[in-house]
Amino acid sequence: MIVRIANGAGFLGDNLDAPRRLVESAAVDYLTLEYLAELTLSILARVREKDPSAGYAEDFLTVLKSLTPALQSQPGLKIVTNAGGMNPSACAKAAAQILASAGLGGEQVGVVSGDDLLADLPRLQAAGCAFENLDTGEPLSSLAQAVVSANAYLGARPIAEALASSARIVITGRVADASLTVGPAVHEFGWQWNDRRRLAGASVAGHVIECGAQATGGFYPLWREIDLAAVGYPIAELADDGDSIITKPAGSGGVVNRETVAEQLVYEIGDPAHYLTPDVDVDFTTVEIEECGVDRVRVRGATGRAAPESYKVSLAYRDGYMATGQMLVYDHAPVEKARACAELIFARLKAAGCEYARSSVECLGAGDAVPGLHAPPQGLREVMLRISIHDPRREAVERFAKELAPLATSGPAGLAGYASGRPQVRPVFAYWPTLVPKAMVSPGVKVQTAAAWKAAN
């Protein structure tokens, strides 16, 4: 038996047509949709603060609507997504409206909850969890700023439970990205939760497909060789032994080869011998890959050790305000003029009583995007001046946002691009990586028909 698990979204903001094109052009058993980067939840937490019925990945609703014909014509197709964000139940209710309108009100929708620890932080701290920062070792109690969100990365187990309760669509909050693939695999193959080799294999497959087209030709240095306009999104054909073949829909753009799969295997990993998920501690150093057909790469040999005793927690706290402004500077000596413009701006701000905790001046086009590597080229005639500031005081950051445009009439000649409006002032959510003992977290699973979710309060 082979289980075909595809990924149609790698982040909140990914292509909205990709999931529909994927299921229309390839037979898959599971479509996973991944929406939650490290700090997406803190943004969704703020959305929920303003509207208690919001705070999930609303893109998912657009995608789900486009998928209803496929859900009707392909009875075996299931969807597993972390679109629930900070509000999985509200997401399920909104999804249920779409399903009911499409005549799919009888379908079972599962919600995985329990990852959101924000309201429980005082209780958990009192119970002995210090939420020490993994980078600095400091306890959370030393943090003066307000915590905005705190979510445990749950594992595959509640997803598999939801599927076992006949859910056709599973909506979660924060779960480990690879667990979106491991959950369906465990459900289909009936693996034991201590079967480390198989769990490791499915985790590796999940890691390869979790960023969508990055496994199939996206982010590829040899992009000239391929057509990315209609890039196909990845499919993992998973076998019962945990090995997989990575592929993409026939006739789609992009490429799946040794290079694209290897690149995605090493994407955003630390120590490859310990890729930690809530399900298993995966060793990537035993993984082998081999091309086994056109756009087909076999991935095998993953091994694993016992899963960690703790869940990783992504915790975000308020950390002042930021703003970024840009202006095109044209000149024989554009870098000199751009730096002079930046000095002018900071001099005027200082005169207005504003100095900033952190600031940055970049001359884009002159080599500043990766600092220190390349000097500005000879004959350079233009650069994009980019100024960013960060400060605890909102008013000071707002003052900065108003100080760029005046340069149009009171700065040097040869400036353009300030007409796009003042820079936006945005709150900063800083990241506090930490752990929580698994025993302190209770994942919840609720499965009911779309019609019942729609009627729920």
Q: Which of 16, 262, 340, 452 binds another protein (CB under 8 A)?
A: 262
Q: By C-alpha distance, which of 214, 209, 210, 192 is closest to 304?
A: 192
Nearer to another protein, 271 or 336 (CB): 271
359 contributes a contact to another protein by CB under 8 A: yes
288 contributes a contact to another protein by CB under 8 A: yes
- Other C-beta atoms within 10 Å of 27: how many? 12
Token reading at 347: 């001099």
420 contributes a contact to another protein by CB under 8 A: no
Question: Distance between CA atoms of 450 and 108, rounded to whole angstroms?
Answer: 6
Question: Distance between CA atoms of 179 and 196, rounded to whole angstroms?
Answer: 14
x/- contact string, 314-343, with another protein (CB under 8 A)?
A: --x--x--x-x-------------------
Element at 45 (helix H, strand E): helix 40-50
375 contributes a contact to another protein by CB under 8 A: no
146 contributes a contact to another protein by CB under 8 A: no
Question: Distance between CA atoms of 447 and 78, rounded to whole angstroms?
Answer: 14
Q: By C-alpha distance, which of 101, 105, 17, 28 is closest to 67?
A: 17
270 contributes a contact to another protein by CB under 8 A: yes
Question: Distance between CA atoms of 329 and 386, rounded to whole angstroms?
Answer: 10
424 contributes a contact to another protein by CB under 8 A: no
Nearer to another protein, 84 or 325 (CB): 325
Question: Distance between CA atoms of 86 and 46, rounded to whole angstroms?
Answer: 9
Report the nearest approach of another protein to the CB of residue 219 (Å): 6
Report the nearest approach of another protein to the CB of residue 311 (Å): 17
Token reading at 222: 């040899």
143 contributes a contact to another protein by CB under 8 A: no
Nearer to another protein, 7 or 66 (CB): 7
Q: By C-alpha distance, which of 253, 179, 268 is closest to 15?
A: 253
289 contributes a contact to another protein by CB under 8 A: yes
- Mark the segment that binds another protein (CB under 8 A) among 5-13, 139-147, 283-291, 407-415: 283-291
Q: Tell me the site size for another protein, rule CB under 8 A.
A: 53
Q: By C-alpha distance, which of 65, 80, 60 is closest to 13?
A: 60
Token reading at 227: 């057509």
301 contributes a contact to another protein by CB under 8 A: yes
Task: List the interface residues with another protein, window 215-244 (CB under 8 A).
Answer: 219, 221-222
Q: 47 by DSSP, 3-state: which?
A: helix
Binding site residues, another protein, CB under 8 A: 37-39, 42, 135, 214, 219, 221-222, 259, 262-273, 284-289, 301, 316, 319, 322, 324, 358-360, 362, 364, 368-373, 386, 388-390, 428-431, 433
